[in-house]
Structure 1
Amino acid sequence: MKSLYLRVWLTVVVVLAFFALGSGWLAQRHVDQERERLMLQGGGGERVRALGELIAQALPEAHEDQDRQAEALRAWSERLRMPLALDDAKGRRIAASAMFERRQAEGLGPAPWPLALDDGRTLWLMRGPRPGGERRGAGYDGPEGGTGPGGPGRGGPWALLDPWRSGSGLVAFMAALFLAVALGAYPVVRRLTRRLETLQRGVERFGSGSLGHRVDDSGQDEVAQLAASFNRAAERIESLVQSHTRLVANASHELRSPLARLKVALGLMQDAQMLDGRVRDGQAPDAGGSPMRQRLRQEIEHNLRELDALIEELLLSSRLQAQAGQAMSPGSGGAVGGAAVVDLLATVAEEAARSQAELTRADGVTPVAGEERLMRRAVRNLLENARRYGQGPVELELRHTVLRGVAMAELRVLDRGPGVPLHEAQRIFEPFYRLPGHAESEGGVGLGLALVRQIAQHLGGQVDVQPREGGGSCFTLSLPMQAGVPRAVSGG
């Protein structure tokens, strides 16, 4: 059984049901003992003994034929409407009336009373039923058939014990107790487990990225203490994540200042070369300088561009991390928040032309809801990765597909590079991770694919890589064609 509240509730009900059975059995014993006490206190015992002695005197002698004894016993039982039985001196049953046998077979009523006769025989007696007693249950004492206090035919206190004597009262009591316990325990148990379910939903919401979410920790019990412990842990985690995000963002912003100064210095250096004393008579200023200086300048410009791209990717990554709780899942609804509808085909075509890649297939793709700048960055990073590590032309395919019942736009970027081992297929999307053997001289810092995955998840999609038939890799970016639109990532 999956529901905790049902397990707890059934445990309580079953335990109390056993308790009710035990209590009923003890109550029945107490009723029997109390009945015996009331009969003795009220003189009922003396009357039964006297009646038994009269019956004994009317019975045939012990040495007479047992059939005659049995016939006489049954006759007196019918006349007095009292269950009777007779044993010989050795304890062997001589005869028993039909009412006596029926009472013993049904297990109803008190135990029979033994009356020792002078000749060694034992006469067993039970209290007889009132008129209609057989219809209402054996052992029922009516106003004309009882032998309780008040004389024959007067029920007295026995009227209070009649339902218990018939057994129906005990069954009704246990059923009522079971129903009361079941109805009373359910809301208590449900309230306890509902708090656990609320805590579970809060933990899942926090784990999905809503780091500011807290659960209700009111109360003094263990559930409240657990909720309070979770809130404290969540607060520390949120503080650490925010500190990390601020650190990355602040570091990226701080790096932009020296980067700008380097660019200015590089421009001033070029101007100074044109005005230095190496200008000859009648010659134009040498803007390029020596070949060595040209190579150094190109290297500096290349490194500055990479540093600028790194800072931009760090800033974008930190903003996506800060808004991770707002990532949309596929099929979560229509566009919200006024976000633009992006023509993915046009974006892919522009980036393919820019990277000199070939768009070989594009069919069935409608505009998707999202942020054009993020989609363009994801496509550009995939193309740049294929250009850097691939060999030969890069091909793109854009098509419509269905993933888990959701219409998706699927972009496939195919290259003829060395490929990605299957055991590395997920690690390459981790920040700053490089495949073994890919040196820094090939360019990049290992953030491009990680940023693609962040963008895909932010837009409610996914990205993966598979080996390409004939060698190389196939990177697949899937974005929902009908999905909720996350809030736009602010520029920096």
Structure 2
Amino acid sequence: MRKFASRMYVRIYAALLACLVIAAALFAFIHLWIEPARHVHGFSGVDASVDGLAPPAGASQEELQRALIRWRRELKADLALYGADGRQLGTIGRPLPGPDLDMRSSGVMPAYPSVFAFKLPDGRWLIAQKAYPHNASAAMLVLLLMIAATVAVGAYPVVRRITSGLEQLQRSVQAWGRGDLAARVPVQGRDEVAQLAASFNESAARIEALVGAQKSLLANASHELRSPLARIRMAVELLEDSASPAMRQELGRNISELDQLIDELLLASRLDAAPADSVGQEEVDFTGIVAEECARVGAALDGVAGILRGDATLLRRMVRNLLENAKRHGGSAQVSVALARDGDGDAGGGMASVRLEVCDGGPGVPPEERERIFEPFYRLPGASEKAGSVGLGLALVRQIARRHGGEVECLPNGARGACFRVRLPSGGRTSA
């Protein structure tokens, strides 16, 4: 029974039902106050008073009207005086029906339950109906306001409890989607939202453990590969005299690729394992870093960027990966690099940012592949493994850019080639 009562739909239904019951009670109270049909029996026992106030049968019209006014004050009702033959002699207030001549004594008129007929001693009839209070409209308005307030006050705690649980679940899911795998939802109650929160917590814990084990395995395996790689490198050096130049060159190239793969795997694992806000915030001369890397590969640099806040080592790796990727796939064309500073936070034009563009003259990237090339270990169709790429360079570029609050995208470079554009929040000053 308690499990059934904790169901969300039962609580919503019970809250609405309680509000409707209270509203019905309020309506009945107001209705009894302003509905004259409910007070018709209040005329019983006042026959003697009516007889005493009755004017003589031959009274003038003025005397009849004064008598009706006195009756109205006494009975607090709308009145009409009829003769024994059913002819109307006078009226005050709302129009009232004529008497039922078949009635033998005073009482409620059968055809009109809210109308009372007084039979006077001389055979005349005084028809009475309780008058609506002057504040009947105000009473109805108050009734509607009370009903609205009752529904609002009665339903709010239930609705707020449900929505607060959903809001907590939403915040935790969003945090979990942003990479905070430790995010959990507080479980309160035993309704459907609480069950959903518990299920989410269990699933998140399993996924966190699985991802953690995967990252740990990858990092440990990458680290352990350093030792056999060093031994292979030493063995190649010992074979320098006996092996052919072509074999030594091929072995050296393979070792370099393996060394690069291990280095990038270790960096990717470190970035995945570190919290999102763990990037250093020292001032970095981004223009100097880009200029040094351009000089290393012989790329043309145009423009300046200024000072950034971030991790100098990671930013250098990002620039180096972009330049090596452009050099690798750009053919014989020279790689061009452009730096610019967009926006001006001090001038009210929004947050200032630094734009880095690395463009090559190679075959370019098809539009449908421009997002996939940022996936780990993804190579364009037809790409040769001998090109030296392991498929992690651009994935690391995106990871590093996002860790610094930026983004990277692949664009066409005119009719031929590709252009990689990185935008990073400056967070610093322009260099001289």
| TM-score when normalising by structure 2 | 0.77
Out of 197, 201, 205, the residue aligned to residue 235 of structure 1 is 205
Identity of aligned residues (%): 42
Aligned partner of 2:68 in structure 1 is: 77
Q: How far has the Cα of 1:368 moved from its partner?
A: 1.0
C-alpha separation between the residues in 1 aligned to 2:53 and 2:37? 26
- Which secondary structure state, in structure 2, belongs to the residue aligned with residue 309 of structure 1? helix
CA contact (8 A) 1:327 1:459 kept: no
- Which secondary structure state, in structure 2, belongs to the residue aligned with residue 451 of structure 1? helix
C-alpha separation between the residues in 2 aligned to 1:394 and 1:17? 73
Task: Render the CA deviation track for 1:20-45: whole Å, top value 9, x for unaligned.
Answer: 554344235556677556x4xxxx62
C-alpha separation between the residues in 2 aligned to 1:340 and 1:25? 70
CA contact (8 A) 1:24 1:174 kept: no
- Which secondary structure state, in structure 1, belongs to the residue aligned with residue 117 of structure 2? strand
The alpha-carbon distance between structure 1 residues 303 and 255, as it changes in their structure 2 partners (threshold 3 A), is same
Q: How far has the Cα of 1:195 moved from its partner?
A: 3.1
- Which secondary structure state, in structure 2, belongs to the residue aligned with residue 406 of structure 1? coil
C-alpha separation between the residues in 2 aligned to 1:19 and 1:219? 26
C-alpha separation between the residues in 2 aligned to 1:15 and 1:94? 52
- 1:199-210 paired onto structure 2 within 5 Å: 199-210=169-180
Gaps of 5+ in 1: 1-10, 61-67, 105-109, 129-133, 139-164, 274-288, 329-336, 484-492
Out of 125, 130, 137, the residue aligned to residue 128 of structure 2 is 125
Q: How far has the Cα of 1:295 moved from its partner?
A: 0.4
C-alpha separation between the residues in 1 aligned to 2:225 and 2:399? 23
Count of residues paired in the alignment? 391
C-alpha separation between the residues in 1 aligned to 2:401 and 2:254? 28
Aligned partner of 2:81 in structure 1 is: 86
C-alpha separation between the residues in 2 aligned to 1:102 and 1:19? 36
- 1:134-149 paired onto structure 2 within 5 Å: none
Gaps of 5+ in 2: 1-12, 98-112
CA contact (8 A) 1:415 1:474 kept: yes
Aligned partner of 2:287 in structure 1 is: 345
Q: How far has the Cα of 1:479 moved from its partner?
A: 1.9
The alpha-carbon distance between structure 1 residues 352 and 463, as it changes in their structure 2 partners (threshold 3 A), is same
Out of 423, 432, 457, the residue aligned to residue 402 of structure 2 is 457
CA contact (8 A) 1:85 1:123 kept: yes
- Which secondary structure state, in structure 2, belongs to the residue aligned with residue 419 of structure 1? coil
Aligned partner of 2:314 in structure 1 is: 374
CA contact (8 A) 2:54 2:67 kept: no
C-alpha separation between the residues in 2 aligned to 1:294 and 1:88? 138
C-alpha separation between the residues in 2 aligned to 1:415 and 1:90? 114
Out of 323, 341, 359, the residue aligned to residue 400 of structure 1 is 341
Q: CA RMSD in A?
A: 3.7
Out of 399, 405, 416, the residue aligned to residue 471 of structure 1 is 416
C-alpha separation between the residues in 2 aligned to 1:383 and 1:297? 27
CA contact (8 A) 1:467 1:473 kept: yes
- 1:25-424 paired onto structure 2 within 5 Å: 25-28=27-30, 30=32, 35=39, 39=42, 45-46=44-45, 48-53=46-51, 58-60=56-58, 73-80=64-71, 81-82=73-74, 83-87=78-82, 93-97=88-92, 100-101=93-94, 111-116=114-119, 122-125=125-128, 175=145, 179=149, 182-183=152-153, 185-186=155-156, 189-270=159-240, 273=242, 293-323=244-274, 325-326=276-277, 339-359=281-301, 361-363=302-304, 365-391=305-331, 392-402=333-343, 405-424=350-369
CA contact (8 A) 2:363 2:417 kept: yes
State which structure, 1 or 2, has the greater radius of gyration over its C-alpha atoms: 1
- Which secondary structure state, in structure 2, belongs to the residue aligned with residue 341 of structure 1? strand
CA contact (8 A) 1:12 1:185 kept: no
C-alpha separation between the residues in 1 aligned to 2:130 and 2:264? 99
The alpha-carbon distance between structure 1 residues 86 and 263, as it changes in their structure 2 partners (threshold 3 A), is same
Which amino acid letter does the alignment assign opposite residue 225 of structure 2? L
CA contact (8 A) 1:52 1:125 kept: no
C-alpha separation between the residues in 1 aligned to 2:391 and 2:290? 23
Q: How far has the Cα of 1:341 moved from its partner?
A: 1.9
| TM-score when normalising by structure 1 | 0.69
- Which secondary structure state, in structure 2, belongs to the residue aligned with residue 319 of structure 1? helix
The alpha-carbon distance between structure 1 residues 400 and 30, as it changes in their structure 2 partners (threshold 3 A), is closer
C-alpha separation between the residues in 1 aligned to 2:205 and 2:264? 28
Which amino acid letter does the alignment assign opposite residue 311 of structure 1? I
- Which secondary structure state, in structure 2, belongs to the residue aligned with residue 101 of structure 1? coil
C-alpha separation between the residues in 1 aligned to 2:158 and 2:44? 51
C-alpha separation between the residues in 1 aligned to 2:269 and 2:275? 10
The alpha-carbon distance between structure 1 residues 410 and 115, as it changes in their structure 2 partners (threshold 3 A), is same
